[in-house]
């Protein structure tokens, strides 16, 4: 009997690094994207995922969705994932080419396993009222 995997970690970040010693480094965890105006493109987007009780072969899908109209704005597919040790957690990191936010608001990130919705998380695109000011003296910092 197949069990439904359990989401143990679902981290939205700038980048996920998978080292040669099989460790994951999650860089720049965030929940909000701030912009002076919209639409805006957030160039770095990563996702770290840990699932428990995954057993067998499955397809994983990540969808970035505007819940206002249901439009899928981005998608990543991991087809044919094999994990035969249900007592060991399954880990993966995805680095996607970036996300386009057409307007300020709340967006959803869906995790599907074999086409079935397993997890929903949110990310917020926030309109900045006052952009950061330039440092005194007019010098720009790197």
DSSP-assigned letters across all residues of the chain: -----EEEEEEEESEEEE-TTS-EEEE---SEEEESSSSEEE--EEEEEEEES--EEEEEEEEEEETTTTEEEEEEEEEEEEE--TTSPEEEEEEES-EEE-SSEEEEEEEEETTEEEEEEEEEEEE-SSPPPPPGGGPPP-
Q: Range with the lowest mean pLDDT among 64-68, 74-78, 87-91, 135-139?
A: 135-139
On the question of pLDDT at 142 being above 70, the answer is no
Domains, the chain: 6-128 (2.60.40.2550)
Mean pLDDT across the stretch 110-132? 92
pLDDT at 138 over 90: no
Provide the token pair at 53. Answer: 């009780």
pLDDT value at 53 more than 50: yes
Which pLDDT band holds residue 77 (cuts at 50, 70, 90)?
Answer: very high
| pLDDT above 80 (res 63) | yes
Indicate the pTM of the whole model. Answer: 0.86
């Amino acid at each position: 009997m197949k069990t439904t995997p359990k989401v143990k970690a679902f981290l939205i970040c700038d980048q996920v690094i998978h080292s040669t010693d099989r460790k994951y480094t999650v860089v720049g965890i965030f929940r909000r994207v701030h912009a002076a105006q919209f639409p805006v493109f957030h160039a770095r987007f990563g996702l770290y995922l840990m699932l428990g009780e995954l057993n067998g072969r499955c397809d994983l899908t990540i969808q970035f969705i505007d819940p206002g109209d249901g439009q899928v704005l981005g998608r990543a597919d991991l087809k044919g994932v094999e994990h035969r040790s249900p007592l060991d957690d399954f880990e993966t990191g995805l680095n996607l080419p970036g996300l386009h936010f057409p307007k300020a608001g709340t967006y959803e990130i869906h995790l599907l396993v074999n086409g079935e919705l397993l997890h929903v998380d949110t990310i917020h695109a926030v309109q900045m009222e006052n952009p950061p000011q330039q440092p005194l003296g007019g010098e720009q910092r790197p």
